Structure 1
Amino acid sequence: MPKFLLLKHYRGGPEPLPDCTPMSEWTPEEISAHIAFQHETGRMLRENGEFVDAQGLSPDGSYVRFGGPDAPPVTDGPFPEAKELIAGWFLVDVDSEARAHEIAAYVSSAPGQGGRPIYEWIEVRQIMGAPAQDV
């Protein structure tokens, strides 16, 4: 079965989110409801045998690249930072891309501020298989 990475976007996507209030401005109860939804989604995926992994990401991060024999450069830009774009992910093992889209649409309905669905963009990317090995 193919595996798909469902990337949870804060603000990214083909168009802006209707109400993109940062989680830092949510009440503790709203955050708890959102996290409970994520846990319940993971439970349902496990029950269906489709769950591989899920992680939320902290807002802290930096860019690092190889810079030769000296220390690697570490920077906050000039590019949009992943911490501003990617909130977390689900990795699923499903029968089809259509099923991955179905799960992504459900994940997009997670509750946010005021209990309203956040309608976040979920980027669906198929995991590449290993290259064929010469036998």
Structure 2
Amino acid sequence: MKYLLLKHYRGGRPALNDVPMTELTPAEWDAHIQYMADMEKRLAASGELVSSEGLSMDGVWVRYDGEGKPPVVEGPFAETKDLIAGWMLIDVDSEERALALASELSAAPAAGGRPLGEWLEMRPVMESAPSTPVFE
């Protein structure tokens, strides 16, 4: 089963290590990135990693306008405190395994080398179209 793990930074839910990522030292930032790279390598070797990317803080909101010139709004977020900083798409045997990997990813080091303890959004990937309307 595939699961998407979305990394959110400095959102409405505090992390255990509640130091803003912008306040990490270069060495702390390097350790954080290395932790995730090591996890990616291990999951790639086990066949559980589908893809993983970090996202730039730059971005825009775009939508179809029906007239050929889509409106663009500066982003990457408009009315939220959350910043989606990246994702990891995994393909695992069970939800329990996905939860264990999400917890491990949440433990990437931050200030002082302590685990960040960030909240991750974990969502199963749809394998087929839903048989009933998703939204009513």
TM-score, scaled to structure 1:
0.85
* Whole-angstrom distance in 2 between the partners of 1:18 and 1:47: 30
SS of match in other structure, 1:29 = helix
* Whole-angstrom distance in 2 between the partners of 1:9 and 1:78: 15
The answer to whether the 8 Å contact 1:7/1:124 transfers is yes
Q: How many residues align?
A: 128
The answer to whether the 8 Å contact 1:10/1:20 transfers is no
The answer to whether the 8 Å contact 1:9/1:122 transfers is yes
- The within-5 A match list for 1:37-116 is 37-76=35-74, 78-80=78-80, 84-116=82-114
* Whole-angstrom distance in 1 between the partners of 2:21 and 2:111: 8
Amino acid in structure 2 at the alignment position of 1:37:
Y
Amino acid in structure 2 at the alignment position of 1:10:
Y
Q: Unaligned stretches of 5+ in structure 2?
A: 131-136
Cα deviation for residue 130 of structure 1 reads 3.4
* Whole-angstrom distance in 1 between the partners of 2:21 and 2:11: 15
TM-score, scaled to structure 2:
0.84
The answer to whether the 8 Å contact 2:17/2:114 transfers is no
Percent identical pairs in the alignment equals 48
Cα deviation for residue 70 of structure 1 reads 4.9
